[in-house]
Amino acid sequence: MDQQEDRPYRPCVGLMVVNGAGHVFVGNRIDTPGDHWQMPQGGIDEGEEPAEAALRELKEEIGTDNAMILGESENWYAYDLPRELSRRVWKGRYRGQTQKWFLLLFRGDDSDIVLDSHHPEFSEWQWVALDRLSDLIVPFKRDTYDQVVREFAPLVDAHLTKQDD
């Protein structure tokens, strides 16, 4: 068996943060040159519940906690990092990540988003339509993102419909 396959997945959370128009927050990773857009995500600390980790990561990565959880993924989604990357990050302990995803409604103004309020992970950010999300994401995360979009799209649509009433 490949040594990479023997390594576990790092447990973490992923955050699909949507605004009132149903667009999704994505940030361009600061540690990788070029366009490496992703939704916020991060590890779950020892003893921390996934929902707690989601709200903590929201505050750390985009500088605000002005959001509410609308939904939680039914499943954990896993992806493998590219082999060369998996040997460098997290001291090579993990082959990738397994993620519990949360759908959050951003209730603030764009000015509430402060990328450097903690340890900056993103150099820039934007709101994108759900149907554009997969095109922006690095290939090794696309399948996970596509699954998360399929799971959360009905909740986003239901929320937008409710707002229109």
Burial class (CB in 10 A: 0-12, 13-18, 19+), 147: middle
How far, CA to CA in Å, does 154 sit from each of 10, 90, 151? 28, 35, 7
**Cα(69)–Cα(28) distance, rounded to whole angstroms?**
23
Give residues with Cβ within 8 angstroms of 129, minimum separation 6.
Answer: 22, 23, 24
95 three-class SS: coil
CB 96 within 8 A of CB 9: yes
- Residue 84's CB is within 10 A of a number of other CB atoms, namely 7
Structure pTM? Answer: 0.91
Strand spans (E) along 7-156: 9-18, 24-29, 37-38, 41-43, 67-80, 96-106, 122-128
How far is residue 139 from each of residues 52, 94, 115, 135, 153, measured CA to CA in Å? 28, 19, 24, 9, 21
Mean pLDDT of the chain: 91
14-41 tens-digit pLDDT: 999 999 999 999 999 998 777 889 999 9
Lowest-confidence range among 39-53, 74-88, 95-109?
74-88
Mean pLDDT throughout 141-164? 89
What dotted CATH number matches 8-164? Answer: 3.90.79.10
d(CA 115, CA 64): 9
Place of tokens 């082959």: 95
Q: Grade residue 118 by pLDDT with cuts at 50, 70 and 90.
A: confident
To which residue do tokens 């696309």 refer? 142
> Which range, of 28-42, 68-82, 95-109, averages the lowest pLDDT?
28-42
